[in-house]
């Protein structure tokens, strides 16, 4: 064979080989891409690829790492009695979590308590797969732990910014997750974009939040967020002082405290019929004193108060009370500055009492904190703090929780948001029109299984605490029949009204999970005027505000009255509305809500979430204690 023929044969063979290689690559490439995106376990590998029409990410997000170790400790915060309390890092309330809007909060929790627990964070969201992957690639702190990064990548978002799926782990056991077992740990990353303000994180599995497992979360608003300070003053210096006070904000965490743990109190109620709702003191930032019943305040609505200021059930003895001398929480304030709610501090240097009064149909309780100006002589070491004295005519807060007529008050749940955010509706021409209206009723009923313990409900049936140890509601099949008190079949984008009536002659605070809701109005000692909000508007009712209602997290349901909440379904998630007063919450006053999840639009829960270690629990009956 000539050299020319040999070269031609080699060229043909090379072209044939090259063609086969290109053909192989052409087939392999799309197959590989399809495989990666089909497999949920491999999908995060490509999750840093930009999404079409996705909002531009900030080039760098600050990562703030917090480590909480929950445990138990003997404590005596009010000087009245030593008892076991739940703690975070050895203290209660838990350490405050700080962040600036847009930061990433990396929270690591280790449980060293003897019971199942969870950490429910409000108004702070999980990162989406793609957004977090971008930030991990840009941030060395999140990128140092590949296992941690992969775990976080598997978590969807509950951010209000363009989300369609809610969080798998918002800390509400039995609703969106299994509880955390003793001696276990977890780490999550949360995105604060679109979230700001002071909120809380608490246990949401049992009643451990009342025993100390609670803390505060403060997200400073972005400098770009509009502020209403120019509505207060136009003075340049005062505006600078207000902004400085915002940067140096101080927090007061106010809690009711009992000398016995909640399990002991519930067991006593179950055995004797004693009243659970009888507290010993009010704590401010974990400090306070026992203050016995106020002089000349011996009755509430004709019922006799014992030394603690409590109404005891018939046949049970009164409880005794002994005043304690523990320290108050002291709020140190630089002279002539502004603090928290922008109270002008232009008085003489001294100690000033912050009075706290809590009155219900079952107890009158009061406590104090101290606002201290500089130049005040401090007490000697070991000497009990003296409560600042004041002339009776200058006291604004009365023993029953009311205020003097000449004192200024603000109803927080009625203040409109800034900038204005009008409520959504299902029709532009009819502000009262919505897609769904649910009539709820807060009430009580006799228990079929307990002699002394009543059951409370919000949607005809109680939602017992033992659901926190069962299969989370979010994990149930979408075609499964939902029974009350569960509310479901709410498509994405729908607008919902909750009209809530109160059968109980006591004001009940209600808390709805998820995004803030629009508080359209409330009235006490009357029924709602109609079947829907539109009915009330058509009847010329003046009790509803559909122009500039407040955006609220918790609101008061008036005694024997009604309230109306409106919200829009923006994501697929499990939320809940429940009483924020422990007595009612612990005994069933809750109504779970499945948002955005229907038979036509089911939600897919990752296997890693479903397979978390947990206990298998099945109640013996549907009583409060199962």
Q: What Rg value do the Cα atoms of the chain yield, rounded?
A: 29
Residue 471's pLDDT band (cuts 50, 70, 90): very high
- Whole-angstrom distance, CA of residue 9 vs CA of residue 398: 105
Find the mean pLDDT for residues 413-419: 89
When mean pLDDT is compared across 219-223, 293-297, 352-356, 429-433, the lowest value belongs to 352-356
Residue 138, Cβ density class (10 Å: 0-12 exposed, 13-18 middle, ≥19 buried)? middle
- Whole-angstrom distance, CA of residue 3 vs CA of residue 13: 15
Residue 373's pLDDT band (cuts 50, 70, 90): low
Question: What was the pLDDT predicted at 395?
Answer: 79
> Which of the two residues, 135 and 477, has the higher pLDDT score?
477
Cα–Cα nearest to 483, from 449, 460, 513:
460
Cα–Cα nearest to 99, from 222, 227, 201, 243:
222
Question: What was the pLDDT predicted at 325?
Answer: 85
Strand 214-220, strand 94-100: pairing? parallel
Question: What was the pLDDT predicted at 125?
Answer: 56
When mean pLDDT is compared across 31-45, 376-390, 555-569, 593-607, the lowest value belongs to 31-45
Find the mean pLDDT for residues 549-574: 95
When mean pLDDT is compared across 165-174, 371-380, 458-467, 481-490, the lowest value belongs to 371-380
Residue 149's pLDDT band (cuts 50, 70, 90): very low
Strand 330-332, strand 299-300: pairing? unpaired
pLDDT tens per residue across span 253-272: 889 999 999 999 999 999 99
- State the chain's mean pLDDT as an integer: 82
When mean pLDDT is compared across 43-57, 85-99, 241-255, 274-288, the lowest value belongs to 43-57
Residue 478's pLDDT band (cuts 50, 70, 90): confident
Rounded to 5 degrees, what angle do the CA atoms 93, 262, 367 make? 55
Residue 150's pLDDT band (cuts 50, 70, 90): very low
Domains parsed from the chain with CATH numbers: 63-226 (2.60.40.420), 227-378+385-391 (2.60.40), 436-610 (2.60.40.420)
Find the mean pLDDT for residues 305-333: 83
Find the mean pLDDT for residues 386-403: 74
Q: Is the model's pLDDT at 6 over the cut of 80?
A: no
Find the mean pLDDT for residues 338-352: 62
pLDDT tens per residue across span 207-238: 999 999 999 999 999 999 999 999 989 999 99
Q: Is the model's pLDDT at 138 over the cut of 50?
A: no
Residue 488 burial (CB count, 10 A): 18
Cα–Cα nearest to 354, from 373, 334, 368, 338:
368
Residue 68's pLDDT band (cuts 50, 70, 90): very high
Q: Is the model's pLDDT at 80 over the cut of 50?
A: yes
| Cis geometry, peptide bond prior to residue 419 (ω within 30 degrees of 0) | yes
Question: What was the pLDDT predicted at 38?
Answer: 52
Rounded to 5 degrees, what angle do the CA atoms 113, 118, 119 make? 110
When mean pLDDT is compared across 388-402, 508-522, 612-626, the lowest value belongs to 388-402
């Amino acid at each position: 064979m000539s050299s020319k023929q040999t070269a031609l044969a080699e060229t043909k063979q090379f072209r044939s080989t090259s063609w086969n290689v290109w053909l192989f690559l052409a087939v392999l490439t799309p197959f590989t891409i399809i495989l990666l995106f089909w497999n949920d376990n491999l999908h995060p590998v490509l999750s840093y690829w930009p999404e079409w029409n996705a909002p531009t990410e900030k080039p760098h997000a600050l990562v703030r790492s917090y480590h909480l170790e929950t445990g138990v400790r003997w404590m005596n915060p009010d000087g009245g009695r030593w008892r076991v309390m739940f703690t975070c890092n050895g203290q209660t309330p838990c350490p405050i979590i700080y962040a600036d809007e847009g930061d990433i909060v990396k929270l690591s929790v280790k449980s060293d308590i003897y019971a199942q627990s969870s950490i429910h964070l409000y108004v702070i969201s999980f990162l989406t797969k793609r957004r977090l992957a971008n930030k991990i690639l840009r941030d060395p702190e999140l990128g140092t732990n590949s296992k941690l990064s992969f775990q976080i990548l598997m978590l969807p978002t509950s951010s209000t910014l363009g989300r369609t799926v809610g969080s798998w782990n918002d800390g509400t056991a039995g609703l969106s997750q299994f509880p955390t077992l003793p001696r276990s740990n977890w780490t999550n990353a949360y995105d604060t974009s679109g979230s700001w303000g002071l909120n809380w994180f608490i246990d949401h599995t049992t009643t451990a939040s009342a025993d100390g497992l609670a803390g505060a979360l403060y997200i400073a608003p972005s400098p770009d967020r509009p502020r209403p300070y120019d509505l207060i003053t136009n003075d340049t210096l005062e505006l600078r002082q207000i902004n400085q006070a915002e940067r140096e904000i101080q927090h007061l965490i106010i809690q009711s405290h009992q000398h016995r743990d909640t399990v002991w109190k519930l067991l006593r109620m179950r055995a004797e019929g004693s009243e659970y709702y009888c507290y010993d003191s009010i704590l401010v930032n974990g400090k306070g004193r026992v203050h016995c019943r106020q002089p000349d305040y011996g009755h509430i609505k004709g019922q006799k108060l014992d030394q603690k200021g409590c109404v005891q059930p018939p046949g049970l003895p009164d409880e005794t009370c002994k005043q304690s001398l523990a320290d108050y929480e002291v709020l140190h304030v630089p002279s002539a500055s502004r603090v928290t709610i922008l109270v002008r501090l232009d008085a003489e240097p001294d100690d000033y009492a912050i009075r706290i009064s809590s009155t219900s149909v079952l107890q009158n309780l009061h406590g104090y904190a101290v606002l201290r100006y500089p130049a005040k002589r401090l007490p000697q070491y070991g000497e009990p703090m003296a409560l600042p004295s004041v002339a009776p005519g200058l006291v604004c807060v009365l023993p029953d929780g009311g205020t003097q007529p000449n004192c200024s008050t603000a109803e927080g749940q009625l203040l409109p948001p800034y900038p204005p955010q009008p409520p959504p509706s299902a029709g532009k021409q009819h502000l009262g029109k919505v897609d769904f209206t649910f009539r709820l009723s807060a009430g009580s009923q006799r228990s079929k299984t307990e002699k002394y313990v009543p059951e409370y409900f919000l949607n005809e049936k109680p939602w017992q605490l033992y659901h926190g140890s069962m299969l989370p509601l979010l994990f149930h099949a979408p075609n499964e029949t939902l029974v009350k008190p569960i509310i479901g079949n709410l498509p994405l984008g729908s607008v919902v009204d909750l009209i809530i009536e109160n059968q109980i002659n006591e004001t009940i605070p209600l808390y709805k999970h998820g995004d803030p809701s629009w508080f359209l109005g409330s009235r006490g000692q009357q029924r709602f005027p109609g079947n829907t909000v539109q009915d009330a508007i058509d009847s010329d009712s003046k009790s509803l505000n559909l122009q500039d209602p407040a955006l609220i997290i918790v609101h008061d349901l008036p005694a024997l009255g009604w309230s109306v909440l409106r919200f829009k379904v923006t994501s697929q998630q499990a939320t809940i509305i429940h009483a924020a007063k422990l007595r009612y919450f612990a005994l069933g006053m809750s109504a779970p809500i499945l948002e955005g999840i229907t038979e036509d639009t089911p939600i897919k829960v990752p296997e890693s979430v479903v397979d978390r270690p947990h206990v298998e629990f099945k109640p013996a009956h549907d009583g409060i204690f199962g």
